[in-house]
Amino acid sequence: MTTVLKTESLNKTYRLGGFINRVKINALDEVNLHVESDEPVIISLVGESGSGKTTLAKVILRLVYPSSGTATVYDEQVAGTGSNPSKNQFLSAIQPIFQNPFEAFSAYRSVDKYLQRTARRINAKSEKDAEAAIEDALASVGLKYQDVKGKYRNQFSGGELQRISIARALIPRPKMIIADEPVSMIDASLRMNIINLFLSLKEDYNTSFLYITHDLATAYYVSDYIAVMYRGSIVEFGDAKSILTRPVHPYTQLLLDSIALTDRKWERTQHGAADIEAKEFQFTGCRFRNRCPLAEDICKHERPQAISLPDGRDVYCHFAEETIQKMEITT
Amino acid sequence: MIKLNNIIATYTTERGQVNAVDGLNLEFPSGKTIGIAGESGCGKSTLLKVVYGDLIYPLSLTSGNVEYGFTGDFGTEVTTKDIKDHWFKRISYIPQASMSSLNPVLRIRRQFVDFQGVDQDKEQILAEVREYVKSLDLPPEAIDAYPHQLSGGMRQRIMVAMGTFFKPDIILADEPTTALDVVVQKSILMLLMDIQEQMGNTILFVSHDMGVHYQLTHKMLIMYAAKAVEFGDSEAVFGEPLHPYTKMLTDSLPTIGDDHIREGVSGRPPSLWDDLVGCRFAARCPLATEICRQQEPELVEHKPGHFSACHHADQV
C-alpha cells in the first residue's frame, strides 16, 4: 500500500502581539493523519474558520514551515526536519488550486501565459510539447485551447476560470492536488460541475485530492476520507460516509446539526453555550470543552487521545466509546 | 406592503450603461421574510440598494419607483428619493462584511449612538441599547469593545442588533451570514427569525444558499440575469418549482446520506451587455423551444400567489 498522506505530530505555532502581550496560537496542534491506499482518494478537511485547515494545506505545500513534526505525501517527506525535495520535483507531484480564481490570475496577463509557464518550467517541455500538454489538460476540464488563448481573466466566468486553474494544476500530472475551498466563490448552479470534475479526474488521471471546505454536503458527495478539525486539532478522522451519517464527536454532531437543509426545518430551540465562539488561545485539556454538552472534569485536565473505533475512524473524545454504545442502543 | 413598480436600475460605466435590474413588478407582503436568490450578477444586491434608496453613482434608477407602504412626517407617500430620511428608523440594512462596516477606531457603543439628536440624552440611549443587546442574549459588555476584539459571529450579531434597535418596518439583509461558519450562521439566523416574529418586520433576505432560504423565508424571489423568474410561497417554490432554473438550482445540491449523482447546470448566464432576445435562460434550459428564443416570457401568476416567467411552466 502507498502512503497517500501522513502527518506525524504536526505542530505550527504563530506568535502574535508584542513583548508584553504576546500570545501564541497553536494553528496546528499534534495533527496525526494517515491515509494508505493504492487507489487515488479524495480526503476532505472540514472545520470552521480558524480551525487550521488552510495552515495544514500550506504546510503540505511547503509555503509554511511547521514548528515540529513531519508530513509525507506519496512516500516522500514534504515538510518538517529533513525534507528537501527539489522544487520542480515537488511541484510535479503536488499542485494547488486556490479559493478565488479571480485573484489567482492577474488582470494584466492572459491566462494561457500561466499554463505555458507551468508546462515549460515544471515539465521542461519545448514550446510545441508544452502546447500539446496544455491542450490535453484543458480538454480534460472541458475547455479548448483556442477559447482560452490570449484571453484575460475578466473574459471568463468564475466557473470557467476555476476550470482553467484546475487545468493548470493538471499539466504536470500531479499525484495530489490540494484544493483550498475551490467552490466557495462559485455560483450554486456551476458548483456541481467542478465537484463532478474532481470525481472524473480522480478516475481518469489517478489524481488524489485534499479537498478543504466548510461545506459538509459536498464533502459527503466527493470524499473517501474526512478529517474534522477544531482549533488546530483533529477531532474525528476516518471514512467520510460513516462519519457524516453517524458522527461520534460532539463537535461533528454540532456541525451536522447546523447545516441549513432544504428538506427539514430547524427545531426552534434556545441555544446554549454551544454556538458562542470565544477568542481564547491558551487551552489545557480538550479544546471543545466550553461548548461541549458532555464536558466533565476530565476534559479540563486531560487532552483526549485518539480512540480507534471498529469502523476504522479515530475520535479524539474521552466519551467516544460511551457515545457509540448509546448510538447502538438507540438503533 | 412593498410595491416595486417596473424597476429598472442602471450602472453607468466606461463601456456605457447596463441594466442590472431590468423591469421588476412585484408586491412583497408586510410582516414576512422574503428571500431573494440567484447567482452573482443577477441583480439581487442591486435590487436591495434600490429599495434602500442608496442610489449613488454609478447606480441610478432609470425608471420605476418603490412604494414602501408608509407615509412620511407630512403625510406624503415615501419614495426612493426620501427614504434616506427614514434610514435605521423605518428601514435598515444588515451588510455582509461586518468588519468593514464598523469603524475600527471607535468603540461599538459610540457607533450605536452616532445619529442626529442624541447629544442631550446619550446616557439614556446607551442604557436602552444595553438593555436591548441583553434582550437578544448577547453580552452587554460587547458594545464596550472595539470591533477587532470581537469574533466574526459576535460582530455580525452586533450588526443585527444595530439594524433592529429602532424596530424598523423593513430590514434589508445582504448575505449577512455568508462569511461565517455553519454553527454561527445557524445562531444568527435563529436570532433574526426570533426578532422577525416578535416585531413583525418585513425582511428582504439576499443569499445564494438555498438551504438558508428554506429555513428562514416565507416567500421566495428567484432572479436570473436581471429578471425575476419565479416568485411565490417558499414551500411552493421549493416543493413544486414552476421555472426550470429554480428546479436545477435546488436539485443540483448534494445532501448528506443521499448518494445520487448530481449534475450542475451547464453554460453560463448571458452577458447583460449583449442584446438579449427571448428568454434569458433559454441557452441553458432543457425545455427550451423556438418560442423561448424569440419571445421573452412575462412573469405570470400560474397558481394563486405563485408567479413564474416561463413559456413551459406547466412542464417543469
* Residues in chain A closer than 8 A to B40 (CB atoms): 158, 187
Query: Per residue in B298-312, pLDDT tens?
Result: 999 999 999 999 999
Smallest CA–CA separation between B130 and chain A, in Å? 19
- Block residue for cell numbers 526536519: A81
pTM for the model: 0.86
Q: How confident is the model at residue A234 (pLDDT cuts 50, 70, 90)?
A: very high
Name the residue among A196, A214, A268 with its Cβ closest to that of B264: A196
DSSP-assigned letter for residue B87: B
Query: Per residue in B62-120, pLDDT tens?
Result: 999 898 888 877 778 888 888 888 888 889 999 887 778 889 999 998 888 887 666 66
Smallest CA–CA separation between A19 and chain B, in Å? 19
* A139/A145 Cα distance (integer angstroms): 8
Question: What is the distance between the terminal CA atoms of chain A, rounded to a whole angstrom?
Answer: 35
Residue A277 reports pLDDT greater than 70 = no
Is the Cβ pair A271, B150 closer than 8 Å?
Answer: no
* Residues in chain A closer than 8 A to B189 (CB atoms): 260
Is the Cβ pair B153, A277 closer than 8 Å?
Answer: yes
* Residues in chain A closer than 8 A to B262 (CB atoms): 192, 195-196, 221
Q: Does domain B2-217 have CATH number 3.10.20.30?
A: no
Is the Cβ pair A265, B215 closer than 8 Å?
Answer: yes
The most confident of A177-181, A255-259, B112-116, B181-185, by mean pLDDT = A177-181
Residue B229 reports pLDDT greater than 90 = yes
Lowest mean per-residue pLDDT among A188-192, A242-246, A273-277, B243-247 = A273-277
Average pLDDT, chain B: 88
Q: How confident is the model at residue A274 (pLDDT cuts 50, 70, 90)?
A: very low
Is the Cβ pair A275, B183 closer than 8 Å?
Answer: yes
Q: How confident is the model at residue B266 (pLDDT cuts 50, 70, 90)?
A: confident
Burial of B173 (C-beta count, 10 Å sphere; 0-12/13-18/19+): buried
Q: What does DSSP say about strands B33-37 and B219-224: parallel, antiparallel, or unpaired? A: parallel
B262 vs B231, higher pLDDT: B231
Q: How confident is the model at residue B123 (pLDDT cuts 50, 70, 90)?
A: confident
Average pLDDT, chain A: 87
* Residues in chain B closer than 8 A to A263 (CB atoms): 214, 255
- Strands (E) located in B153-212: 170-174, 202-206
CA angle (B10, B15, B19) in 5-degree steps: 20
Number of cross-chain residue pairs from A and B with Cβ atoms under 8 Å apart? 128
Instruction: Map out the domains of chain A as residue ranges.
Output: 3-330
- What are the beta bridge partners of residue A14? A25
Q: Give the architecture (CATH level 2) of A3-330.
A: 3-Layer(aba) Sandwich (3.40)
Residue B179 reports pLDDT greater than 80 = no
pLDDT at B258: 81
Is the Cβ pair B249, A275 closer than 8 Å?
Answer: no
* B44/B297 Cα distance (integer angstroms): 20
Question: Helices A127-140 and A188-205 sit at what angle, rounded to 10 degrees?
Answer: 120
Q: How confident is the model at residue A273 (pLDDT cuts 50, 70, 90)?
A: very low
Residue B200 grid cell:
413583525
Residue A275 reports pLDDT greater than 60 = no
Residue A282 reports pLDDT greater than 70 = no
3-state secondary structure of B287: coil
CB of A314 closer than 8 Å to CB of A234: yes
A-chain residue closest to B250, CA distance: A262
Mean pLDDT of B133-154: 85
Name the residue among B40, B182, B265 with its Cβ closest to that of A259: B182
A-chain residue closest to B234, CA distance: A262
Smallest CA–CA separation between A122 and chain B, in Å? 32
Is the Cβ pair A48, B181 closer than 8 Å?
Answer: yes
Mean pLDDT of A78-82: 88
Nearest partner of B34 among B311, B265, B228, judged by Cα: B228
* Residues in chain A closer than 8 A to B248 (CB atoms): 189
Nearest partner of B185 among B161, B165, B215, B164, judged by Cα: B215
Residue B249 reports pLDDT greater than 50 = yes
Instruction: Map out the domains of chain B as residue ranges.
Output: 2-217, 231-316
Residue B294, CA atoms < 13 Å, CB-side half-sphere: 3
Query: Per residue in A285-315, pLDDT tens?
Result: 888 888 888 888 888 888 899 999 888 899 9
- Block residue for cell numbers 408567479: B307
Residue A82 grid cell:
529533513
Q: Which residues of A touch B (CB under 8 A)?
A: 48-49, 157-160, 187-196, 214, 216-218, 220-221, 244-245, 254-256, 258-263, 265-266, 268, 271, 274-275, 277-279
Cβ of B87 under 8 Å from any chain A Cβ? no
Is the Cβ pair B263, A196 closer than 8 Å?
Answer: yes
Q: How confident is the model at residue B136 (pLDDT cuts 50, 70, 90)?
A: confident
The number of angstroms, rounded, from the C-alpha of B125 to the middle of its chain's C-alpha atoms is 29
pLDDT at B154: 85
Is the Cβ pair A157, B268 closer than 8 Å?
Answer: yes
Name the residue among A189, A221, A254 with its Cβ closest to that of B248: A189
Residue B268 grid cell:
453560463
* A199/B145 Cα distance (integer angstroms): 47
pLDDT at A280: 59
Query: Per residue in A103-152, pLDDT tens?
Result: 889 999 999 999 998 998 887 778 888 888 899 899 888 888 888 888 99
Is the Cβ pair A275, B186 closer than 8 Å?
Answer: yes
* A247/A269 Cα distance (integer angstroms): 21
Residue A259 reports pLDDT greater than 90 = no
The most confident of A236-240, A327-331, B135-139, by mean pLDDT = A236-240
Residue B39 reports pLDDT greater than 50 = yes
